[in-house]
Amino acid sequence: MNDPRGNAFVYSGGLLDEIHAKTAHGLLRYSDRFNILGVIDQKFDG
């Protein structure tokens, strides 16, 4: 079976601090498939 792995940026659409960003939270906390390089969220810059 193919096991693709790679780098990723997470785009959370301004919802990073909300319960509605379940996919973003899951990727940041538990992803073994992706090496998260950064988070893009317009409410949290810096």
* Structural domain contains residue 45: no
> How does pLDDT run across 3-37, given as a tens digit for each residue?
778 999 999 999 999 999 999 999 999 999 999 99
pLDDT score recorded for residue 30: 95
Range of the domain at 27: 6-40
pLDDT score recorded for residue 16: 93
Integer angstrom CA distances of residue 23 from 3, 5, 11, 43: 20, 17, 10, 17
* Structural domain contains residue 17: yes
pLDDT score recorded for residue 2: 74
Report whether pLDDT(1) > 70: no
* Structural domain contains residue 46: no
How open is the CA angle 38-10-19, to the nearest 5 degrees? 120
